[in-house]
């Protein structure tokens, strides 16, 4: 399992928002780069209309 944290800036409230992105990449991806690109894509998809995407941080990887 991979855990990332996506951060956004909300223009209306002028606050930073953090959302977790969690997925099992062991079965789908060959490299860490592919996992990071997937997480980046998910982060952009989660962006709301009044927000600006700020950053994506890799948090951890673990096995179940």
Predicted pLDDT of residue 48: 95
Mean pLDDT, residues 49-63 taken together:
91
**Is the pLDDT confidence value at 27 over 80?**
no
> Which token pair is 13?
């409230």
Q: Which whole number is the average pLDDT over 19-46? A: 91
Report the SS3 class of residue 38. Answer: helix
- What pLDDT is attached to residue 45? 97
User: Are 23 and 46 within 8 A, CB to CB?
Assistant: no
Query: Per the confidence metrics, is the pTM higher than 0.95?
Result: no
């Amino acid at each position: 399992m991979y855990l990332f944290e996506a951060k956004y800036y909300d223009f209306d409230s002028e606050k930073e928002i953090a959302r977790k992105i969690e997925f099992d990449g062991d079965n789908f991806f060959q490299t860490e780069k592919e996992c990071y690109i997937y997480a980046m894509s998910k982060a952009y998809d989660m962006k709301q209309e009044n927000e600006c995407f700020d950053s994506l941080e890799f948090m951890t990887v673990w096995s179940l």
